[in-house]
Amino acid sequence: MKFSEEFEQRFAEMVPHYPTKRSALVPTLLYAQDEIGFLSDEVIAEIAVRLDLTELEVRNVISYYSMLTTQPRGKFNVQVCTNISCMVRGGEEILEHCSQNLGIGHKGTTPDGLFSLEEVECIGACSWAPAAQVNYDFHENLTPDKMDRVLEEYRKSGKQ
Amino acid sequence: MADLVFHPDEVKVVSRRFGQGATDIDRYLELDGYKAVEKALAMEPDAIVNEVKNSALRGRGGAGFSTGMKWSFVPKQSAKPKYVLCNGDESEPGTCKDRLLFEHDPHAVIEGVVIGGLAVGARSGYIYIRGEYRYLSVIMQKALRDAYAKGFLGKNIFGSGRDFDIYWHGGAGAYEVGEESALMESLEGKRGIPRIRPPFPAVVGLWGGPTVINNAETLANVPHIILGGADWYAKLGTPKNGGTRLFCLSGNIAKPGVYELPMGYNLKKMLYEVGGGIPNRRKLKAVVPGGSSCPCLTADEIDVSMDFDSVMKAGSMLGSGGVVVIDDQQCIVKFALRTMKFYRHESCGWCIPCREGTDWLEKTLIRFHAGGGLKKDIDNMQYLSENMLGRTFCPLGDAAAMPTIAFIKKFRKEFEDHLEGRPCPYEPEGAVERLPVLSH
């Protein structure tokens, strides 16, 4: 299992910040996922060894956090918030619109592996609702048209 | 980058450096940056605690507990290391203020952590930022590196002979982790399941050491209190409710945004003057005054002073400052359902009343919204919610039950309008798949 130089640097810097090794687990998992795309068996085994944990202990933690996944996702993970502040400003319509545009439903992935779609809980964009995140980027004050433009940009950048 | 708003009634304390380029440490220093830490280094720990106590600063995460009081619970002597933990796991629906703090003024949060550490005798602290806020983690990590480079963190800070370390920590998606004991579990690399209290974190916290846990906004206020003085800060608000608050206006409001207003600002004025009222010629139906866990106030109940005690007296909570506005075209049953869907999703499953309660309530509300409810279900939902209150390790069970009880009590007629085969009156015909009435 080989991670990037950047990951290794981050990991080496992070572990001594805590009195116990396992404390670095959650951020380490997220950085690993960002790099590999999902938490594969291989990644889980590697992180378990590094932090002196069993694979079961690592899986136990993964299953708790909504951002962590053991299944591959699309290159661009479109996460649409439909919680209360977004809902009353049309968040559900945005989700439905994305579903139409991409041809997939909640937790689905397009056949070309470019997009996946997820209905998510509050992402902290309430005052700029409705909002979505594509990977880590926020897109706010959305309308169906604006959402189409956002998706089109990613579609273009993904095909390059 | 989230847009900033402005209103003349704002009193800028924690937001005074927003949009000023203060993420740059040199710019921050020009804007009185790190002066508060230098001042605090010359103060006795008890004097810092007293200053914060006298400022009437109360926890901005939602509970509204006196910050100075919380700090005073940390034992002076401890065999295990003490810690300061900044809670930046902002995830209460309706709340988006810590995001602006991290984006515009990360060093103020750092200063708050250092001063908290000096007050309680800790030598290190952690800043926990939710996983979704990746760009803010990048900003915070840079701010920490810059502070180390200047000698403001690490060994012998400001040449004082004292050491203080702060580390960033990131989550990976979990509302429950914003609860203080679950936050510690998460930081220790575990599932975010709450701990039973007592012992409280101030005595037994991170890795067994005494730990002060404060919300990011609470900590960002501390340097301003140290520099401006407790009296100045206390007088900005109302008695026992010092200072200002970042209010996040969202929902059906003309000018949504995060506004810093004095504690005790009138809610009606906040909605109609600051927020510009309800758009599209609609009327106000209800407002959730402090994040999704707070009981709603009806349009007749909004003449209330937005401080912890007054909102409590009005039957709700000031909570996390998330003011969610609901207009008369919204269906309360649907709103209650969406709220419950959230809590069911976020319940960690540790305590049965919360795990089972949120699931039953969501299922009942789905059925109700789809026209398959029975009259007795209304009372059942209320009974179930009331029985969740106070019966869980952490307040998530309460957070799910309290708004539900209020929605039913205050909008019973709307629930009745959905009874026995009637479709949701707020949705176009056919928009909600009808569910049959269960014969039980």
Domain boundary among B301, B327, B353: B327
Asked whether residue A30 falls in the same domain as residue A54, the answer is yes
- Residue-range definition of the domain harbouring residue A15: 5-62
In chain B, pLDDT over 70 holds for what percent of residues?
99
Instruction: Give bridge partners of residue B222 from the DSSP assignment.
Output: none
Residue of B nearest to A69 (CA): B172
B77 pLDDT band, cuts 50/70/90, is very high
Domain count, chain B: 3
- Which residues of A fall within a CB distance of 8 Å from B400? none
Asked whether residue A106 falls in the same domain as residue A42, the answer is no
Name which of B187, B248, B326 is nearest A127 (Cβ-Cβ).
B248
Asked whether residue B271 falls in the same domain as residue B216, the answer is no
Cβ distance of A26 and B252 shorter than 8 Å: no
Residue of A nearest to B169 (CA): A27
Asked whether residue B166 falls in the same domain as residue B267, the answer is no
Is B428 inside a domain boundary? no
Confidence (pLDDT) at B423:
74
Asked whether residue B322 falls in the same domain as residue B336, the answer is no
Asked whether residue A133 falls in the same domain as residue A106, the answer is yes
Alpha carbon distance, N-terminus to C-terminus of chain A? 28
Is B7 inside a domain boundary? no
* Best A122, A134, A135 residue to mutate vs chain B (most B CBs within 10 Å): A122
Asked whether residue A10 falls in the same domain as residue A48, the answer is yes
Confidence (pLDDT) at B191:
97
Q: What is the CATH number of the domain that holds A155?
A: 3.40.30.10
Q: Is A65 on the interface with B (CB under 8 A)?
A: yes
Cβ distance of B175 and A126 shorter than 8 Å: no
B440 pLDDT band, cuts 50/70/90, is low
- For B326-371, give the DSSP string: EETTS-HHHHHHHHHHHHHHH--S-SHHHHHHHHHHHHHHHHHHTT
Close Cβ partners of A35 (under 8 Å, ≥ 6 residues apart) = A3, A4, A7
Domain count, chain A: 2
Residue of A nearest to B331 (CA): A88
Q: Are strands A115-120 and A76-81 parallel, antiparallel or unpaired?
A: parallel
Asked whether residue A51 falls in the same domain as residue A13, the answer is yes
Pull the structure tokens for residue B228: 């401006």
Asked whether residue B283 falls in the same domain as residue B174, the answer is no
- Residue-range definition of the domain harbouring residue B363: 332-416
Provide the shortest C-alpha distance from residue B50 to chain A (in Å): 31
Residue A117, φ and ψ in degrees, nearest 5: -130, 140
Residue of B nearest to A64 (CA): B191
Domain boundary among B212, B236, B260: B236
Alpha carbon distance A87, B288 (integer Å): 14
Confidence (pLDDT) at A1:
83
Cβ distance of A140 and B190 shorter than 8 Å: no
Is A67 inside a domain boundary? no
- Which residues of B fall within a CB distance of 8 Å from A129? 250-251, 256
Alpha carbon distance B435, B421 (integer Å): 8
> CA gyration radius for chain A?
17
Domain boundary among B285, B312, B327: B327
* Best B176, B184, B191, B337 residue to mutate vs chain A (most A CBs within 10 Å): B191
Q: What is the pLDDT of residues B17-36, one digit of tens each?
A: 999 999 999 999 999 999 99
Asked whether residue A129 falls in the same domain as residue A89, the answer is yes
Residue type, B71: W
Q: What is the pLDDT of residues B92-127, one digit of tens each?
A: 999 999 999 999 999 999 999 999 999 999 999 999
Report A:93-132 residues touching B (Cβ under 8 A): 121-129
Average of pLDDT values for B54-73? 97
